[in-house]
Amino acid sequence: MARQTGLRGRGRGSVEEGGQGIDQMRVLKLTNIVIAVILAGGALWALRRILEPFVLAVFLLIMVDGLARGIARRAPRLPAWSSVPIALAVIVGSLGLTIWLTSQNIADFATRTPVYEARLNALLLLGAQQLGVSATPTVTSLLHQLNPARFAGDAAKALGSFGEGAVFALIYLGFLVASRASFGVKAAKFFRTDGEREEAGRVFERIRVGVERYVWVQTLVGVVIAALSAVLMTALGLSHVPFWCVIIFMTNYIPAIGAAVGVLFPATFGVVEFGELWQAIVLIAGLEAIHFAVSHVLQPRLQGRSLNLDPIVVLLALALWGALWGVVGALLSTPLTVVALAIFAEFEATRPLAVLLSSDGEPYARPDA
pLDDT in tens, 133-186: 666 666 666 666 666 656 666 666 766 677 777 788 888 888 888 887 777 777
Q: Is the pLDDT of residue 227 over 60?
A: yes
Distance (Å, whole) CA 118 – CA 59: 44
In a domain, 161, yes or no: yes
pLDDT of residue 345: 82
In this model, does residue 228 exceed pLDDT 90?
yes
User: Which residues make beta-bridge pairs with 358?
Assistant: 309
Any domain includes 94: yes
Check residue 365 and give its pLDDT: 47
Q: Is residue 138 part of a domain?
A: yes
Q: Does some domain include residue 92?
A: yes
Least confident interval from 1-10, 62-71, 142-151, 316-325: 1-10
Domain annotation covers residue 177: yes
Cα separation values, 212 from 129, 170, 271, Å? 54, 20, 38
Helical H runs in the chain?
2-46, 48-74, 83-111, 113-131, 139-146, 148-179, 183-190, 194-236, 241-251, 258-262, 264-273, 277-293, 299-303, 311-344, 351-357
Report pLDDT for 367. 43
- State the chain's mean pLDDT as an integer: 78
Domain count, the chain: 1
Compute the distance between CA of residue 195 and CA of residue 186 in angstroms, rounded to an integer. 16
Reported as a pLDDT band with limits 50, 70 and 90, residue 14 is low
Rounded Cα distance, 166 and 241, in Å: 25
The pLDDT of residue 368 is 46
Share of the chain above pLDDT 70, in %: 81
240: three-class secondary structure by DSSP: coil
- Please report the pLDDT score of residue 17 as a whole number: 55
Q: What is the DSSP letter of 106?
A: H
* Contact indicator for 330, 336 with CB cutoff of 8 Å: no
- How far apart (Å, rounded) are the C-alpha atoms in residues 241 and 50? 36
Give the model confidence (pLDDT) of 63-109 as tens digits: 888 888 888 888 888 887 888 889 888 888 888 888 888 888 888 87
- Considering just the CA atoms, what is the radius of gyration of the chain in Å? 27
Where does the pLDDT of residue 309 fall: very low under 50, low under 70, confident under 90, or very high at 90 and above? confident
- What was the pLDDT predicted at 100? 84
Q: Which residue has the higher pLDDT, 265 or 20?
A: 265
pLDDT tops 50 at residue 273: yes
Picking from 55-59, 313-317, 349-353, which range would have the lowest pLDDT averaged per residue?
Answer: 349-353
Beta partners for 309? 358
Tell me how far CA of residue 315 lies from CA of 64, 311, 366, in angstroms. 27, 7, 22
Interior angle at CA 36, CA 33 and CA 41, nearest 5: 125
Please report the pLDDT score of residue 7 as a whole number.
47
What's the pTM?
0.76
Residue 203 above 60 pLDDT? yes
Range of the domain at 151: 48-190
pLDDT of amino acid 144: 64
- Asked if residue 358 is part of any domain, the answer here is no
Higher pLDDT, 14 or 207: 207
pLDDT for position 233: 92
Q: By percentage, how much of the chain surpasses pLDDT 90?
A: 4
Amino acid occupying residue 72:
A
CB 252 within 8 A of CB 315: no
Rounded distance between C-alpha atoms, residue 151 and residue 71, angstroms: 44
Q: What does the pLDDT look like over 333-347, one tens digit per residue?
A: 888 888 888 888 877
Q: Which are the contacts of 61, defined by CB distance < 8 A and separation ≥ 6?
A: 173, 176, 177, 180
Give CA torsion, residues 352, 356, 359, 360, to 10 deg.
40
Task: Give the residue, 355 or 361, on which the prediction is more confident.
Answer: 355
Instruction: Note the pLDDT tens digit of each residue in 117-133.
Output: 777 777 777 777 777 66
> How much is the pLDDT for 306?
62
User: Residue 178: inside a domain, yes or no?
Assistant: yes
Is 310 inside a domain boundary?
A: no
Look at residue 80 in the predicted model and tell me its pLDDT: 78
Greater model confidence, 369 or 175 = 175
The torsion angle over the Cα atoms of residues 362, 365, 367 and 369, rounded to 10 degrees, is -120
d(CA 174, CA 88): 9
Give the residue, 139 or 247, on which the prediction is more confident: 247
The burial of 113, by beta-carbon neighbours within 10 Å (0-12 exposed, 13-18 middle, 19 or more buried), is given as exposed
Residue 272: pLDDT over 60: yes
Residue 136 has φ and ψ, to the nearest 5°, of -85, 120
